[in-house]
């Protein structure tokens, strides 16, 4: 039987397809409480469109949540606009190299037939929460997403990948990326790696701390229950180069929770 934390994690995650056919994973986060609350769809910038200019020209994205159809949980298509009353609903991280974006998605709440949950913003991992719960290298994580856009038919429930935190959560990573002028440059970003086997379509997946953990207390190892903290957003698989060949090194690049 699934835990309540895992069920919420799975139901907050859904496939996203852009107006120009790019596709990946997205998830819902709620900020605020009561009438002042808003929900946001979080993903990678590149899932919505390849460049800032291209994204600025788009009018909508298509989500694939589930609803009950003739008694069966079934994947459906829902169009989510990127503009409302002439104002953009899309917010991108201002750092070009931090591949995180959010779309205000309050209108999803109007359709009571849709089956989804949201991750509360109180679970976004702050430095204080990471310290309180002693989150570190070696802890296990959940990564729900859509590798190669696979999902559980006929619903849109994601594929759940287990992973392990493989580098410090508040570290810096260096790598080669394309700059706004389409030139290769070395870039440094705040983020971390996880040991996970991912594939195209997984981009935009939430990276969630597995609540059931074993912690060292003195000379003993004791079980401890932690909240399912949102640690970051998966950007994709990290590749290296060996003898001139591109090599999948089995690591996923994660932009940490400060980018959300």
User: Whose structure tokens read 């089995």?
Assistant: 250
CA distance 195 to 235: 13
Q: Would you state the pLDDT for residue 127?
A: 95
Listed in sequence order, the residues at least 6 apart from 5 whose beta carbon sits closer than 8 Å to its beta carbon are 211, 227, 228
Measured CA to CA, the distance from residue 129 to residue 64 in angstroms comes to 32
Look up residue 102 and give its two tokens.
Answer: 């959010």
- At residue 17 the predicted structure's pLDDT band, cuts being 50, 70 and 90, is very high
The predicted pLDDT at position 93 comes to: 95
**pLDDT tops 60 at residue 223:** yes
∠ CA 162-16-112, nearest 5°, is 100
The pLDDT assigned to 23 comes to 94
pLDDT, position 165: 96
pLDDT band with cut points at 50, 70 and 90 for residue 3: confident
- Supply the pLDDT for residue 116: 93
Least confident of 105-109, 148-152, 246-250: 246-250
**CATH (domain of 97):** 2.40.10.10
Q: What angle do CA 224, 228, 229 make, to 5 degrees?
A: 110
Under 8 Å between Cβ of 195 and 163: yes
What is the DSSP code (8-state) at residue 152? Answer: B
Residue 36 has pLDDT above 60, yes or no: yes
Task: Specify the number of domains making up the chain.
Answer: 1
The percent of residues above 70 in pLDDT, for the chain, comes to: 93
Alpha carbon distance 82, 103 (integer Å):
7
* 227: its two tokens: 């909240």
pLDDT, averaged across the chain: 88
Buried b (16+ CB within 10 A) or exposed e, 169-197: beeebeeeeeeeeeeeeebebbbbbbbbe
The answer, yes or no, to whether residue 1 has pLDDT greater than 60, is no
pLDDT of residue 248: 72
Block residue for tokens 């594939």 = 199
Among positive and negative, which fits the CA dihedral 205, 209, 213, 216? positive
| 72-119 per-position pLDDT tens digit | 889 999 999 999 999 999 999 999 889 999 999 999 988 888 999 999
- Residue 122: band (very low, low, confident or very high) from pLDDT cuts 50, 70, 90: very high
- Whether 217 shows a pLDDT value over 70: the answer reads no
Q: Which domain holds residue 13?
A: 4-259
Above 60 in pLDDT, residue 153?
A: yes
Model confidence over 158-203: pLDDT tens digits? 999 999 999 999 988 876 666 777 676 778 888 999 998 777 899 9
């Amino acid at each position: 039987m699934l835990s309540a934390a895992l069920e919420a994690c799975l139901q907050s995650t859904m496939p996203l397809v852009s107006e120009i056919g790019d596709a990946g994973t997205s998830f819902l986060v709620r900020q605020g409480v009561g009438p002042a609350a808003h929900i946001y769809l979080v993903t990678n910038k590149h899932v919505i469109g390849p460049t800032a200019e291209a994204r600025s020209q788009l009018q909508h994205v298509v989500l694939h949540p589930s609803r009950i159809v003739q008694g069966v949980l079934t994947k459906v298509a829902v169009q989510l606009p990127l503009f409302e009353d002439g104002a953009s609903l899309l917010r991108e991280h201002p750092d070009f190299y931090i591949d995180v974006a959010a779309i205000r998605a309050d209108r999803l709440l109007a359709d009571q037939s849709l089956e989804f949950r949201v991750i509360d913003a109180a679970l976004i991992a702050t430095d204080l929460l990471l310290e309180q719960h002693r989150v570190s290298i070696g802890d296990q994580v959940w990564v729900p997403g859509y590798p190669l856009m696979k999902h559980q038919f006929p619903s849109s429930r994601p594929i759940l990948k287990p992973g392990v935190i493989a580098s410090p959560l508040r570290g810096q990573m260096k790598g080669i990326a394309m700059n706004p002028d389409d030139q290769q440059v070395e870039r440094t970003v705040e983020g971390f790696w996880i040991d996970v086997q991912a594939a195209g379509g997984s981009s935009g997946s939430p990276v969630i701390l597995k609540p059931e953990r074993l912690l060292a207390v003195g000379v003993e190892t004791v079980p401890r229950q932690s909240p399912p903290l949102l640690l970051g957003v998966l950007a994709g698989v990290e590749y290296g180069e060996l003898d001139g060949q591109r090599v999948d090194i089995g690591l996923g690049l994660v932009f940490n929770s400060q980018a959300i």
